Structure 1
Amino acid sequence: MKKIYLAAALCWLATLSFAQVRTRSLKPETVKEYSRFVPTSKKALSTVQLPKVNVSQLLKEDEKEASLGLPFRFGKALDVKINLANSGKWETVDGGRIWRMLIDVPEAKTVNMIFDRFYLPEGATMFIINGDRTVVSGPIDHTQNSLAGTFSSGLLKGSSVIIELFEPAEFFAKTELQISKVVHGYRLTPMAGGFGQAAPDPCERNVNCAEGNNWQNEKGMVAMVLLNNNERICSGSLLNNTCNNMTPNFLTAFHCLDLNEDGAAGGDEIAAAQTWHFMFQYMSAGCTPSTDDFNVVEFAGATYRAGWNISDFALLELNQTPEPGTGVVYAGWSRTNAAPTSSVGIHHPKGDVMKISVENNVATSVDWNGVGPNTHWGVNFETGTVERGSSGSPLFNQNHRVVGQLHGGRLTGGDYEGRCINRDARYGRFDVSWVGGGTNDTRLSNWLDPSGSGATDVGPLTIPSISGPSVLCTSGTYTLNNVPGGVPVSWSVSTPSGVTPTSGSGNVANLTMINPEDVTITYRIGCNATRGITRRIYVGPPQFSGFLVNGQSTSNGSGCTNSYIPIAAVPNDPSANYYWSQSDPNGFIANATQSSTAFTGYNASCYYLNVNISNACGSRNETLTMCLNNCFAKYSVFPNPAKDYITVEFGQIESAESLPDEIVLLSEKSTTPVENIDVQTLYQRNGLKNGKQVEIDAKALPRGTYYLHIKNSRLQEKKVDVVRILLD
């Protein structure tokens, strides 16, 4: 079976486009679905311990700056130099190696990081999990590489994080990772499990309350932004342009960037945007009480495009383009000078889950503290309010168009405190920012109207996607969805011998396969340019070219008893279902429903493994013969069944090299180790009983079946002996 690639291409500027990236925070029960992470005790991990911070002093500083209009500070960035060479521990695994480490940040409420060196080769994946193993961010892969060579992580609750990196064997030592800053989050937020000093005002309303019923599309346009060493918070919105080409333009407040308050975007401030972190979909699922459901779509880094302090706008372009299915939406906008007859603000006050504020009256055209007449829209919210952290958030008019971004409150310096009493807010006017200071780097016009159309109103854009069958047996219909109305669409096929027809107009393509050849169909929409969305289509029944045993192609495998032997049916076909089986009770297949798994045989014998591979177009059965020998006879395990103690006794011990690395005891009902014994360290400390025994105290363990894993990674091929133990 061959693959077809369908690329839906939308118009785009002739500039560099970074690959799509999405980082998720997941509930604990889904961690294993997204990570190679093996639950390990913190004591077993290589750890970097950071110093405590003086929270009392930081809170005093926060009180002093509350009236200065600076972005809300939630954490303290600590300078570090943590990299693959000086920290963590590598472990060889099938197909490559894994690097793990733990960063302990004493008494922190949340932890996030900035990487000043970041490069992942193709096939490498990284996950970041909090120490309590309740939230995980990832997978992070090569599509997050940027020209700046930097990366940033989002907030994880708790006082420690575990980083896990998988590097494939074919790209050995090609990964670059170095953490330059670890942010100690000292203010309580919903993500940290409470509010405390960072409590938002009680009049705030969650975006999923009744007030937000008519604004559900807009909540996908707004993000919380970590900035200024990623220890402060602002808000902002993703904007559409006149080409509808998915250029990820992001609007926020200029003062979020201009931390030295000199009214200009300095070189260091512009460069710092490459490490900003954008968190979409951070909201409570319901109205009350507020909850944090750990389902945040995140993007790392952006390029500064334009800004102007008079209307307080800053426009950036995210380093990644959001993909279909993320819930992220591009906001529409209006650059007319008509005052909104009613207004809505959507924002993240003090790092809180997304809130909505409603103004039912006409906005007024105002200045900003006497500077620049008619540069801002003034509103006074009847429902909700705005606070520090809300800066940069969009103001939507009655037509659901962005008409400004939040500068601050009416009081001098933008003081947000006590906002439930005084709910007025001032937003830099979008129409004023459109012409800005008259140059490309001080106005919106050339970035949001790249075609020079002169449009004054642009609607929102839901990211286009391709629908159609995932497996094409004979013919199928593929549709480009969410195409803006009135925009002409055409498509063409790159390999005419693969399908018919080979071109057409409209957003629907009815394809019939001629030959199982790779095909790319390109949709063109507006602006006479392309931007690709690729979907893989599999054609015909599943293909099979052979088996891999320990990474080697073979039809008859061999190995050792009581060891995990990696096996795989190739090629791996994501469209297919796999089911492995074998009838010998002395054999065990680790995961019977994936193309790659592992086999263990407990007796020296030949085993016959069958795999059924099926998809919508058909199925096939293939058989692998595995003949195993008893390779290890240097130890014995007794008694078995056991009651109080389990003893592993080794024969002649000539040196540490003749001993395994570790012995792990696992229950049949859990993958969490019951005991984890470092045999090498025990030997070096003369800790072996009678000079040759490892004794495991089993008196307190529940009765049942256990498995003893005896691991040795110093052999040419990593070996793991598995011994079944019964406690009675």
Structure 2
Amino acid sequence: MVKTENVKLLHRYGLVLILIFGIGIHCFESKAQVQEKGFPESFFMEQKSALLIPTLKLDSVRVEKMLKEDQKLKIDNRYGVVQSCDINIKEAGIRTEIQGKGIIWQYKVESEDAYSLGIYFKKYHLPPKAKVFIYDSSKTLIRGAFTQNNNNPGNRLPVAEFQGKNMIIEYFEPLSPEFSGELVLGAVSQAYTDLKRLADDRIGINCEEGADWQVEKHSVCLMTFHDFQNSYFCTGALLNNVKEDETPYFLTANHCIHTELTANTLITYFNYEDSTCKSDDASFSQTLSGATFKAGSSHSDFSLLLLNEYPPDEYNPFYAGWDVTGINPRSGACLHHPDGESKSIATAGNTAFSYPEKIEWFSEDLRLISTTLPDTHWNVLFDHGLPKAGSSGGPLFDQNKRIAGQLHGGVNSVILFGKLSLSWNYHASYTEQLAHWLDPSNTRKTLNGIWKMPPKTNFRAELQEVCVNSPIKFTDKTTHRPTGWNWEIDPPFYSFTNGTDSTSQNPEILFLKDGTYSVKLTTSNKYGSHELIQKKYILARSKLDVRFLKARRDSTVCGCDLKDFALKASGAVNYSFKIDKPELIDTTIHSNTLFLSLNPSANYTKSFDTWVKVTGTNGHCIASDSILLHVIIQPNDDVIHASKLFLGRNTGYSNKCATPEMNEPNPPSSGCLVKKSWCPDFTSGRSLIDNSVWFTFISPSNGLVTINTYGFDDQIAVYRADSYSSILSGDRTQYSLLAANDNRSNSDKTAIIENLELDPGKQYWLQVDGHNAAYGNIIIDILSNSLEAVVFPNPSSGSFNLNLFHPKTGIADLSVSDLKGRELFSRQFKVSVNSTQFDFDLTGYPKGIYVLRVNLNGAGLSKKLIYF
């Protein structure tokens, strides 16, 4: 992937560097990875001849050709060639039944000329008591057992290098397993070199220079991985996080690993170091397999991985601290694996400086890989030792023994480490920063490392208000991997049940009398102990207190929010729920939570109420709670259901529960005071429309109208269209935007459209939306400068409604006459902008055609009435 050459200064602004990372390979020991002790089942039975075991014969690795290619191209990092495959061990392997125990499958992998083999299971998911072993045909080298403890969320498992040219994979599955196991071989790596290359200027970690770094060294690992073509080495380190819970976050270089698939193939080698400065006895015996990719960026060349397995205590893992202040390290050290050698150290007594120039990074074939900007890297001048190929990703510890960066590469005096302060949160995306994973609340800029920590006790009960004589589960939440537990409860009116006792990690406890109980848990491991007392933690009663959380007995919710709307209950162990409008609301239940969603096939035309009931039980105790849920359906949310407005004041409307509609039009966002425009909306992200409602109105006889709104920061628009479907067509030729307004002034955020000229007697559409998702009750005045009257229904069976408007307040004289001019009756009404709706009744008069006459403030009009 990379090679080393002399630094070339191409121009004054940019320094071209060749990446350094890589390694040769050593002979591997037979013990590695987290495994269970034991032997393959086939060792205890009369084994079939190895010749009968199905075999994958790998292609020749062509050792001499690969070595010459590495030498010619100066590739220092590559040690193996990967051959992909897709072999289901349970289908391709030879099957043997073991009476009374289960079944084994065996499959062999054989190389013509490899020094060692590394395998990668693309599917690995084992049931309890199933086991995988790997051994050579002579049965002298054995690896395993791998069990369900090696299962991981990705269902993949890489296995560390296995010395020799052949291996047999043996899978044992017990009788009647919980589920059928999966074991599929996806790739095999063949090492073509077994040469131990000694790095120049290498200083072992246990030499004099490493005396002050004997704790921090336990965070640093040699790592192998492959890209399904070739196999490589790099260096990485465990990182602490603000929870200090020993989550195995692992920092390395982005140019080493930058994809999930490659992270899945990772093998980390802990404590690969010589025991003394002059010895050559480093061991590969402590390894972990697999990781997931969490974050990374080429900007500062970092990758953060999460190891699939927790390092066991015998590995003595140290979770390194960090410094993301961006302050120059005054001195420090790089702990690394140069040329893949045992753990080494390079020390610097001088202050690192921020590299001020652009850097171009090239691959071994001089192809430009990436360009990093000025001041993204620390340049470190080392006094003793020097990072080499294979050191990439090695941590740079500062004078406070906190990590300030990881090795990117360099040559001679230009050794560059990507700044951890840039990796922290330079990019906003969680997948390109460290902050989200190590300190999501951004509480600090420095953190010390942790090592050999005593436990920090924590626990929780399934319930804190419990039923007397009903079992309650307690769950240990202690960090730093405790190995011992002791539970104490006061007062002593309790007993353990279901096979648990005071030393169980997660006991079940019966409280025997009513009252409050304090609970004490003491946890321990080989580094110490810690206790936690939660006083008056449990309230035991003969009756349960079951209730909905964060919900009032009368609760209101918008229909548009009923999409997996959660109602959570507490106070019991088991719950059931009931709703009295199941035809309108769909429900799903998860544990103590009821999720509500509007039934998409139901016809919603108005708001409705529904009772929701929860019944909780714990042992023999039972209780319930109910709430009345008011579901608000916005009647004029959609254009088709637009509400009719009349001249004068229109009240009783809100947009609180409104939503945008598909293809709903909106004015441009040219400015708050610009004609036919709305203000820009910075909350929705996709559209100006947040929570619009719709209205229709009939233009007055003179065609001149003013629309005045009050209530909240709204924005309005008037459209002309033949029908609602034209407005929602998405075709602007089928409707016209006639007017729009957002703010009537710089200080008044309500909307107004003045003196809009329309065609008399025609229907128009009014859109009202909340700017930046504002909502509330709204008053809409539809105003004209002439006397206007609308009678409805007309024809009528007797009762008529009259909408009467005049721009000035006054007393209206109303009379109804027959066609011969004979007056049936007369009335007087006080008309104002707030009082425009009146009614009268012709019931009892002969059916027929009549004339309505109105006189107000010197103006008059007449309307024909049809009474049937």
2:618 alignment partner in structure 1: none
Does residue 40 of structure 2 align to residue 36 of structure 1?
A: yes
* C-alpha contact 2:157 2:289 (8 A) present in aligned 1: no
Between the aligned partners of 1:180 and 1:56, the Cα distance in structure 2 is 26
Does residue 77 of structure 2 align to residue 78 of structure 1?
A: no
* C-alpha contact 1:146 1:319 (8 A) present in aligned 2: yes
* C-alpha contact 2:235 2:337 (8 A) present in aligned 1: yes
Deviations 1:278-337 (A, max 9, x none): 33233333333322434222122x222221212111112222333434322211111122
Between the aligned partners of 2:382 and 2:409, the Cα distance in structure 1 is 13
User: Of 163, 188, 204, which aligns to 1:157?
Assistant: 163
Between the aligned partners of 1:505 and 1:248, the Cα distance in structure 2 is 16
1:353 alignment partner in structure 2: 342
- Superposition map of 1:70-219 within 5 A: 72-93=77-98, 94-130=100-136, 133=139, 135-171=141-177, 174-188=180-194, 194-195=195-196, 199-219=197-217
Shift of 1:405: 0.5
2:436 alignment partner in structure 1: 446
Change (3 A) 1:368 1:181: farther
Change (3 A) 1:310 1:33: closer
Change (3 A) 1:127 1:359: farther
Q: Name the aligned partner's letter for residue 436 of structure 2.
A: N
Shift of 1:154: 1.0
1:275 alignment partner in structure 2: 265
Change (3 A) 1:407 1:458: same
Does residue 320 of structure 2 align to residue 319 of structure 1?
A: no
Deviations 1:105-135 (A, max 9, x none): 1221121012222221121111223456555
2:351 alignment partner in structure 1: 362
Q: Name the aligned partner's letter for residue 326 of structure 1.
A: Y
- Superposition map of 1:253-402 within 5 A: 253-257=253-257, 269-300=259-290, 302-366=291-355, 367=357, 369=359, 371-402=372-403
2:653 alignment partner in structure 1: none
Shift of 1:82: 2.7
Between the aligned partners of 2:284 and 2:266, the Cα distance in structure 1 is 20
**Secondary structure at 2:198 match in 1:** coil
Change (3 A) 1:63 1:324: same
Between the aligned partners of 2:114 and 2:287, the Cα distance in structure 1 is 23
1:15 alignment partner in structure 2: none
Structure 1 unmatched ranges of 5 or more: 1-23, 189-193, 259-268, 411-421, 465-480, 484-488, 524-532, 536-728
State the TM-score, normalized to the length of structure 2: 0.47
Between the aligned partners of 1:31 and 1:65, the Cα distance in structure 2 is 39
Change (3 A) 1:503 1:441: closer
**Secondary structure at 1:310 match in 2:** coil
**Secondary structure at 2:256 match in 1:** helix
Between the aligned partners of 1:504 and 1:74, the Cα distance in structure 2 is 43
* C-alpha contact 1:154 1:279 (8 A) present in aligned 2: no
Shift of 1:534: 11
Change (3 A) 1:37 1:458: farther
Between the aligned partners of 2:114 and 2:436, the Cα distance in structure 1 is 43
Bigger Cα displacement from structure 2, 372-381 vs 142-151: 142-151
**Secondary structure at 1:321 match in 2:** coil
Change (3 A) 1:139 1:85: closer
Between the aligned partners of 2:309 and 2:170, the Cα distance in structure 1 is 22
1:609 alignment partner in structure 2: none
Q: Looking at CA atoms only, which structure, 1 or 2, has the larger radius of gyration?
A: 2
* C-alpha contact 2:150 2:309 (8 A) present in aligned 1: yes
Q: Name the aligned partner's letter for residue 82 of structure 2.
A: A
Change (3 A) 1:96 1:219: farther
**Secondary structure at 1:275 match in 2:** coil
Q: Name the aligned partner's letter for residue 213 of structure 1.
A: A
Between the aligned partners of 2:270 and 2:460, the Cα distance in structure 1 is 34
**Secondary structure at 1:57 match in 2:** helix
Bigger Cα displacement from structure 2, 170-179 vs 338-347: 170-179
Change (3 A) 1:31 1:330: closer
* C-alpha contact 1:492 1:504 (8 A) present in aligned 2: yes
* C-alpha contact 1:368 1:426 (8 A) present in aligned 2: no
Deviations 1:113-169 (A, max 9, x none): 122222211211112234565554333111322333322111122222222222111
**Secondary structure at 1:212 match in 2:** helix
* C-alpha contact 1:246 1:463 (8 A) present in aligned 2: no
* C-alpha contact 2:267 2:287 (8 A) present in aligned 1: no
* C-alpha contact 2:79 2:193 (8 A) present in aligned 1: yes
Between the aligned partners of 2:60 and 2:314, the Cα distance in structure 1 is 40
* C-alpha contact 2:29 2:163 (8 A) present in aligned 1: no
2:69 alignment partner in structure 1: 61
Between the aligned partners of 1:512 and 1:445, the Cα distance in structure 2 is 39
Change (3 A) 1:482 1:172: closer
Does residue 500 of structure 2 align to residue 518 of structure 1?
A: yes
Q: Name the aligned partner's letter for residue 428 of structure 2.
A: G
Between the aligned partners of 2:305 and 2:56, the Cα distance in structure 1 is 34
* C-alpha contact 1:131 1:158 (8 A) present in aligned 2: no
Between the aligned partners of 2:280 and 2:137, the Cα distance in structure 1 is 24
Deviations 1:657-710 (A, max 9, x none): xxxxxxxxxxxxxxxxxxxxxxxxxxxxxxxxxxxxxxxxxxxxxxxxxxxxxx
Change (3 A) 1:310 1:270: same
Q: Name the aligned partner's letter for residue 377 of structure 1.
A: W
Change (3 A) 1:52 1:431: same
Change (3 A) 1:141 1:403: same
Between the aligned partners of 2:358 and 2:167, the Cα distance in structure 1 is 42
* C-alpha contact 2:240 2:438 (8 A) present in aligned 1: yes
Shift of 1:491: 4.2
User: Of 417, 421, 430, which aligns to 1:427?
Assistant: 417
Q: Name the aligned partner's letter for residue 143 of structure 2.
A: S
Shift of 1:350: 3.0
Shift of 1:449: 0.5
**Secondary structure at 1:437 match in 2:** coil
Between the aligned partners of 2:475 and 2:83, the Cα distance in structure 1 is 57
2:238 alignment partner in structure 1: 238
**Secondary structure at 2:380 match in 1:** strand
Between the aligned partners of 1:251 and 1:395, the Cα distance in structure 2 is 11
2:408 alignment partner in structure 1: 407
Deviations 1:530-550 (A, max 9, x none): xxx999xxxxxxxxxxxxxxx
* C-alpha contact 1:313 1:405 (8 A) present in aligned 2: yes
**Secondary structure at 1:315 match in 2:** strand
Shift of 1:430: 0.8
Deviations 1:46-99 (A, max 9, x none): 4332221222332343245537xxx82110001223322453323333522222
**Secondary structure at 2:152 match in 1:** coil
Does residue 226 of structure 2 align to residue 227 of structure 1?
A: yes
Change (3 A) 1:240 1:134: farther
Does residue 451 of structure 2 align to residue 462 of structure 1?
A: yes
**Secondary structure at 1:208 match in 2:** coil
- Alpha-carbon RMSD across the aligned residues, in angstroms, is 3.8
**Secondary structure at 2:117 match in 1:** strand
* C-alpha contact 1:491 1:521 (8 A) present in aligned 2: no
1:50 alignment partner in structure 2: 58
Shift of 1:407: 0.3
Q: Name the aligned partner's letter for residue 234 of structure 2.
A: C
Between the aligned partners of 1:172 and 1:492, the Cα distance in structure 2 is 29
